């Protein structure tokens, strides 16, 4: 068993079961890039401040760079004798350049070191999420352009409500994902704060230059309170929350595509390469990918709630409970990235069933609101018009007819104000054209929204 960096205080060796229980190298090993980059910047600062010599700094930074290359090539054993990635890197450095490697820890603690590594990781994960979200937004723009002329039923309560352009519906998801990108961008301000230099909790006695390290590692600013710096995991919680909202949006999209691809709806065709079959039912084409995205949403929610619960009662400053931050975040980052990649690929391959969409628009009395609006234009109050159209719908249901199939005589039986121009109001295309407010579903407005979306994705 490797000697512990904190072993000087102890007469007895740590129990082997406790050692394994305490170890985090199994999962924090993926922080090796951030740990080495942070150590190199710290080392350069120590040399600049005269705390170590330039010659020592060169040997240390060259050794760290070699270790990074070896880890990139998979040549390093991440064994549990090293309880965490910070210990492993330091021990590897000592093995490579001798006791000089122990100087790398001058002026810092594992508390501010892990806070630095993790902020760098979350910063990179947020940037990757932003890039992947932008990719899925691009697909919505492409689908919107390709299917611009398709009209579909808009739904509330999963019941047919009013006709909308399919592109308008797709751009609703564009807006959801735009807010997701904004959330990750907003959080980056709070992520990009350098904690290094806070040491264990009270700072260090060495004359370090924190701003130099911040500049080297591309941090916008440095933390203002050393106690807060080592005990803060708000940035992790924000990432988990942002990811949970993002996954919720992907889950809603998955649910709609699952419903729309069913035989009962038949509005969308899912690519076979993204579906699976049944072990017993030969006819099945199951939307497993979409169901997995929907299922992983609960997993990401769980990670957020688990870590919120972990943090809720911790006294200042650092506590070992906070080691539980990594597995939750790593699992969330992996899930989010996998789901964004596979969802983007699937969306590029879907197609829409124009005939079924047209047929669906002829059911469910989608034009009822427009008929009420028509009566308002003839001088009737909306409340009265609403009541009369409800009676007309009941009459049509009894006759097993659509609104357009009713005769003028039948319609006039409910309101004398109805004339033959009513039938234009009962056409879905004309209904869309009348909705010309900003953000509405008319072709004119949707075209403007589509152009704006294209510009936002291209910027």
> Shortest CA distance to 80 belongs to which of 13, 12, 4?
4
Question: How far apart are the C-alpha atoms of 320 and 310, rounded to whole Å?
Answer: 10
The class of domain 111-147+158-199+227-358 in CATH terms is: mainly alpha
Predicted pLDDT at 6: 62
Polymer length of the chain:
459
pLDDT in tens, 308-353: 999 999 999 999 999 989 999 999 999 999 999 999 999 999 999 9
CATH for 7-106?
A: 1.10.275.10
* Annotated catalytic residue 249: no
* Annotated catalytic residue 278: yes
Predicted pLDDT at 83: 86
Residue 459: pLDDT band (50, 70, 90) is: confident
Asked if 222 and 211 count as a contact pair (C-beta separation under 8 A), the reply is yes
pLDDT in tens, 142-170: 999 999 999 999 999 999 999 999 999 99
- Whether pTM > 0.75 for this model: the answer is yes
Q: What is the dihedral of CA 169, 171, 176, 177, to 10 degrees?
A: 140
Enumerate the domain spans of the chain. 7-106, 111-147+158-199+227-358, 360-458
> Shortest CA distance to 267 belongs to which of 346, 356, 348?
356
pLDDT in tens, 392-406: 999 999 999 999 999
Choice among 157, 279, 313, 459 that is catalytic: 157
Q: What is the dihedral of CA 13, 18, 22, 24, to 10 degrees?
A: 100
Predicted pLDDT at 78: 87
H or E stretch covering 66: helix 54-72
Choice among 53, 131, 262, 278 that is catalytic: 278
Judging by beta carbons within 10 Å of its beta carbon (0-12, 13-18, 19+), is residue 232 exposed, middle or buried? buried
DSSP per-residue letters across 140-186: HHHHHHHTTT-EEEEEETTEEEEEEEHHHHHHHHHHHHHHHHHHHHH
In CATH terms, 360-458 corresponds, of 2.60.120.10, 1.20.1560.10, 3.30.565.10, 1.10.40.30, to 1.10.40.30
Determine what percent of the chain is predicted with pLDDT higher than 70: 99
């Amino acid at each position: 068993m490797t000697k512990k960096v904190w072993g000087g205080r102890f007469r007895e060796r740590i129990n082997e079961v406790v050692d394994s229980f305490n170890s985090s190298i199994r999962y924090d090993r993926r922080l090796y890039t951030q740990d080495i980059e942070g150590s190199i910047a710290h080392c350069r600062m120590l040399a600049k401040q005269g705390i170590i010599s330039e010659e020592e700094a060169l040997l240390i930074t060259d050794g760290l760079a070699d270790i990074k290359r070896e880890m990139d090539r998979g040549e390093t054993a991440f064994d549990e004798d090293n309880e965490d990635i910070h210990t492993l890197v330091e021990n590897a450095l000592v093995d490579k350049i001798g006791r000089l490697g122990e100087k790398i820890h001058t002026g810092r603690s594992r508390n501010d070191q892990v806070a630095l590594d993790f902020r760098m990781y979350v910063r990179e994960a947020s940037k990757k999420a932003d890039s992947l979200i932008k990719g899925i937004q691009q697909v919505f723009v492409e689908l919107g352009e390709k299917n611009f002329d398709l009209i579909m039923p808009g739904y509330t309560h999963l019941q047919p409500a009013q006709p909308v352009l399919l592109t308008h519906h797709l751009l609703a998801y564009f807006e959801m994902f735009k807010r997701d990108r904004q959330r990750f961008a907003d959080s980056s301000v709070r992520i990009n704060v350098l904690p290094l230099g806070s040491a264990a909790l009270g700072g260090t006695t060495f004359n370090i230059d924190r701003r130099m390290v911040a500049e080297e590692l591309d941090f916008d600013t440095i933390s203002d309170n050393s106690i807060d710096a080592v005990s803060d995991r708000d940035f992790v919680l924000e990432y988990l929350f942002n990811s949970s909202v993002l996954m919720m949006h992907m889950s809603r999209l998955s649910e709609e595509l699952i419903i729309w691809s069913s035989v009962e709806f038949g509005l969308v065709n899912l690519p076979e390469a993204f579906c699976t079959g049944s072990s017993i039912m030969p006819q099945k084409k199951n939307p497993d990918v979409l169901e997995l995205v929907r299922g992983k949403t609960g997993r990401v929610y769980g990670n957020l709630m688990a870590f919120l619960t972990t943090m809720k009662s911790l006294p200042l400053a650092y506590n070992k409970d906070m080691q539980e931050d990594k597995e939750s975040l790593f699992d969330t980052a992996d899930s989010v990235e996998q789901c964004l990649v596979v969802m983007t690929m699937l969306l590029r391959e879907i197609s829409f069933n124009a005939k079924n969409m047209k047929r669906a628009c002829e059911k469910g009395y989608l034009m009822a609101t427009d008929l009420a609006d028509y009566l308002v234009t003839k001088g009737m109050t909306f409340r009265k018009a609403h009541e009369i159209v409800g009676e007309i719908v009941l009459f049509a249901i009894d006759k097993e007819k659509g609104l357009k199939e009713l005769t003028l005589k039948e319609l006039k039986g409910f309101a004398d104000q109805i004339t033959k121009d009513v039938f234009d109001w009962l056409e879905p295309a004309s209904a869309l054209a009348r909705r010309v407010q900003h953000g509405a579903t008319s072709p004119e407005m949707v075209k403007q929204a589509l152009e704006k979306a294209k510009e936002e994705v291209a910027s």
